[in-house]
Structure 1
Amino acid sequence: MLPSDLLFSHKRGAQIYPRFLRREQQVWAEQVLTLICEHQHRTRGELQAALRALEGDSPDYRIVRGFAHLALNAAEFTLATGELEPETLRREVFTLAAERGGYGETQAREVLEAVAPRYQLEVETLREALYADLPEHHLLTVLPDFTPEALVNRYNLAQAQGLLYSALCLRLIAHRNVPGEYRRLFRHLKFHGLMYAVEGHLDDGYQIYVDGPASLFKQTRKYGLQMAVFLPALLRVSRWEMVAVLQRDGQELSYQIDSQSPLKPLGAAPPAYDSLLEENFVRRWEKLNTPWVLEREVEIVDLKGTVFVPDFALRHPDGRIAHIEIMGFWHPDYLRRKLDKLRRAAMPDLIVAVSERLNVGAEDFQDVPGPVLFFKGKLEPRAVLEVLERLTLPTG
């Protein structure tokens, strides 16, 4: 993300908007990356001087700095001294200088000449090594691994994130359109420590209210930063909207943005399935001659403090709907949390498919209202279909 002095926004009444790059400003991305590449194996100080020269007297100087900030966050710098430790060298040189006494360039050179042979260094090389641990003397060794277009995307995203630094709360709307992404969205909310509540339904979309200390007690920049870090996860949903309430200069402002913005996800899309077991089940289901249509992670059950998202939904043309949850991964905490969610969700239309490798039995699912199907190795679609046809489900 970007520091506050490199962020741009504009207000219209009580509305505030991030200021994204204009097409003619995007050329700076390529120039910054080219300059960084030209300074590989040179010092940070030399690179910073070249970047200042690139800024010149251009009115876009803060954009250049923003590009450089994001690009250098993905670069790596190392000490130029190898195994030599500048702090150790300084201690030895300064101790010898204090013992000999005197000041000036002549005395300094005599001390360096006395120490240099011990490290098999030239005097001037030793002089440079004394302060090689200062940031401006670090060498650029690993270049940022992205294109100018990717850097532009990172910059625009950073502008959108920057407004969330002062966010009090968020309202997110995630429409039903991207199989498999709901669960990841809630994982990111939990990972970033954000408190939320969910309402809505499959057809009109789900509204997620993200709240917390920033609005309940007082504004905390740390919580706003967590909201900002979460934003890239929202970009994985094809149709989304976000409305944030910000506190800036004693005024509450509304910040709205949606999937029509120029924001784009960073990096490659995550795998469509959480496991090979799920992926193989989908492929075998597609070969069945059945009117039941298998859909990936489209239903959200609000459990007040967390959510439950079944792995699959099954839809029949007559309006019947059922769900499947596959339990094929073993871990004590996973098993405990999963059983707790199944009980709290209380879904009689949920088929729970359980691998026998989990070392659980029917007694563990006594409080789960839906049918439980145990399987060995592969989950056979026909076995699921048999259970499905025995379920009493309302029709449309």
Structure 2
Amino acid sequence: MTRQEALIDYDDASGRAIPDRLTRGRHRSYLGYAQRFLDIYTSGIGRTRRELHRSVEVVLAASDDCPLRRIAAFKKLLDEKSSYAADAGRKAAKLRQQVFLSAATSHPLVSRVEGVFCNLEHDVKQRIALQLNLTWEQIDARLFSDVIEFQRLEKFEGYASPEALLARYNVAQTQAALYGAEQLIVWSQQDFKTILRYAKLARLMHSIRREGDGSYCFRFDGPASVLRRSTRYGVAMARFLPGLLSCGQWRATAKIVNRWGKRYRLELSCDDGLKSTAAEIAEFDSDIEAEFAAAWEIADCGAWKLERESEMLHAGQSVFTPDFTLVNDKGHRVLLEIIGYWTPEYLKYKTQQLEKFQQHDILLAVLEQTHFEVPSHCGEPIVFKRQLKTEDVLARLRDRSE
């Protein structure tokens, strides 16, 4: 969903941004509407996007409380699950030229013979189809396939149920509200590592602190691929939301800037009833980590065992979750952190973070192109070009255990 379909109430009295949300009580009629939407698209193979959209509009015309943006949002969500026939090879314009030039020789076309007007539309269409070695139905389907609203539905994946469509609507409107976010703060009492992993997938930079009640506070400021602050950070936060919804025991506040530059806050929690649409999370955050773990599995690593993100350390208000923990049969634990393509700001933050965990045995593996100031207590880092090799890691582990 885009900003054009977003429906947000900005409450100046409370300073809150409140995205549109359909509820069972107030919006019970929408369950029936959603079923009709699914029926329209399921049976609509071959119809144009414009025809399908018009059918959705007709259904919602029966509602006395349906803003235009809500209608647009449903059409957008239905189209997200649809595949339309596009103009393969950009042939539509050429086809139109051929058809119109051929039809022009028989102008005007009529539906029935009237005096000197004897060029029947049906006959001319059949003549053109014969010339092009196509059926008229094929020509009609391709004639405007380069115009989005005239593209025809080829496949509809659909939603599992009307309830699933409505649940997706509620999440999508909340995501759209986050497009204007400058910052997102999450307080959580569980699923800490899951939150961090979804944040990494969304390419969000984060800072963490431990609260007095044992919970953690995560502050997200933007995608790690962007070097300077930007309102585009909100798009990454919107991508992160479905992952957060899959976790338990959390609440969140986002700082929102609307199109007029006024600031509001968006408040969320695990008790809001929003349902996660997140795909199953990948086990690793990068190819470097995945390849290293796979190589470790088949290598002869002796007494050393590899654990994935099994540690969550905190020093004062700072928290550190290393990429891997290496443990030998004597209980010696070495934390392995891989430094990849990070921004200068994030590298500085990581350096400061590592300085707070000097009491832990931390081994760093640094991508060759990365300019990272290695904290002195971490020792000499492993520098690698593309792939982190198990033999290099094992060599450092032997040095540490001697």
TM-score when normalising by structure 1: 0.65
Preserved CA contact (<8 Å) 1:35 1:50:
yes
1:255 to 243, 266, 273: 266
1:107-154 Cα shifts (integer Å, max 9, x gaps) = 584765553322223567646653354334422112135313432332
After superposition, where does 1:372-383 map in structure 2 within 5 Å?
Answer: none
1:285-342 Cα shifts (integer Å, max 9, x gaps) = xxx9xxxx9972524799x9xx974135799xxxx99661166x9x9x69xxx99998
- State the distance in 2 between where 1:141 and 1:54 align: 22
1:121 paired residue number:
134
1:202-252 Cα shifts (integer Å, max 9, x gaps) = 74413415279xxxx99x764544443443343354343322233445643
- State the distance in 1 between where 2:193 and 2:295 align: 16
1:298 paired residue number:
312
1:54 to 48, 52, 59: 59
Q: Which has the higher helix share?
A: 1
- State the distance in 2 between where 1:373 and 1:310 align: 15
1:74 paired residue number:
81
- State the distance in 1 between where 2:136 and 2:378 align: 80
Question: 2:274 is paired with a residue of what secondary structure?
Answer: coil
1:311 to 320, 323, 332: 323
- State the distance in 1 between where 2:185 and 2:42 align: 41
Amino acid at match of 2:210: H
Amino acid at match of 1:54: V
- State the distance in 2 between where 1:351 and 1:15 align: 43
Shift of 1:42: 3.1
Alpha-carbon distance change, 238 to 313 in structure 1, aligned in 2, over 3 angstroms: farther
Preserved CA contact (<8 Å) 1:183 1:297:
no
1:240 to 250, 255, 262: 250
Alpha-carbon distance change, 169 to 271 in structure 1, aligned in 2, over 3 angstroms: closer
- State the distance in 2 between where 1:58 and 1:252 align: 32
1:149-206 Cα shifts (integer Å, max 9, x gaps) = 432332111121222233344333355534354244145244xxxxx56252374413
Which 5+ residue runs of structure 1 have no aligned equivalent? Answer: 191-195, 283-287, 391-396
- State the distance in 1 between where 2:308 and 2:47 align: 56
1:393 paired residue number:
none
- State the distance in 2 between where 1:114 and 1:281 align: 69
- State the distance in 2 between where 1:166 and 1:326 align: 33
Alpha-carbon distance change, 108 to 133 in structure 1, aligned in 2, over 3 angstroms: farther
Amino acid at match of 1:72: D
- State the distance in 2 between where 1:369 and 1:224 align: 36
After superposition, where does 1:164-203 map in structure 2 within 5 Å?
Answer: 164-175=178-189, 177-190=191-204, 198-201=207-210, 203=214
- State the distance in 1 between where 2:78 and 2:175 align: 17
Preserved CA contact (<8 Å) 2:183 2:219:
no
Shift of 1:378: 12
Q: Does 1:369 align with 2:382?
A: no
Preserved CA contact (<8 Å) 1:298 1:313:
no
Preserved CA contact (<8 Å) 2:40 2:55:
yes
Alpha-carbon distance change, 140 to 386 in structure 1, aligned in 2, over 3 angstroms: same
Alpha-carbon distance change, 301 to 312 in structure 1, aligned in 2, over 3 angstroms: farther
Preserved CA contact (<8 Å) 2:129 2:135:
yes
Q: Does 1:21 align with 2:22?
A: yes
Question: 2:241 is paired with a residue of what secondary structure?
Answer: helix
- State the distance in 2 between where 1:187 and 1:279 align: 20
Aligned-residue sequence identity (percent) comes to: 20
Preserved CA contact (<8 Å) 1:39 1:140:
yes
After superposition, where does 1:84-163 map in structure 2 within 5 Å?
Answer: 85-96=91-102, 100=105, 103-105=108-110, 106=118, 109=121, 112=125, 114-122=127-135, 126=139, 129-148=142-161, 149-163=163-177
Alpha-carbon distance change, 168 to 310 in structure 1, aligned in 2, over 3 angstroms: closer
- State the distance in 2 between where 1:178 and 1:104 align: 70
Q: Does 1:40 align with 2:42?
A: no
- State the distance in 2 between where 1:22 and 1:67 align: 15
| CA RMSD between the two structures | 5.1
- State the distance in 2 between where 1:342 and 1:169 align: 19
Alpha-carbon distance change, 145 to 127 in structure 1, aligned in 2, over 3 angstroms: closer
Alpha-carbon distance change, 280 to 28 in structure 1, aligned in 2, over 3 angstroms: farther
- State the distance in 1 between where 2:142 and 2:197 align: 52
1:267 to 264, 269, 278: 278
1:337-381 Cα shifts (integer Å, max 9, x gaps) = x99998662444134387xxx99xxxx99965247899957999x
Shift of 1:77: 0.6
- State the distance in 2 between where 1:174 and 1:126 align: 58
Alpha-carbon distance change, 178 to 111 in structure 1, aligned in 2, over 3 angstroms: same
Preserved CA contact (<8 Å) 1:156 1:262:
no
State the aligned residue count.
Answer: 348
Amino acid at match of 1:131: F
2:7 paired residue number:
7
Preserved CA contact (<8 Å) 1:295 1:314:
no
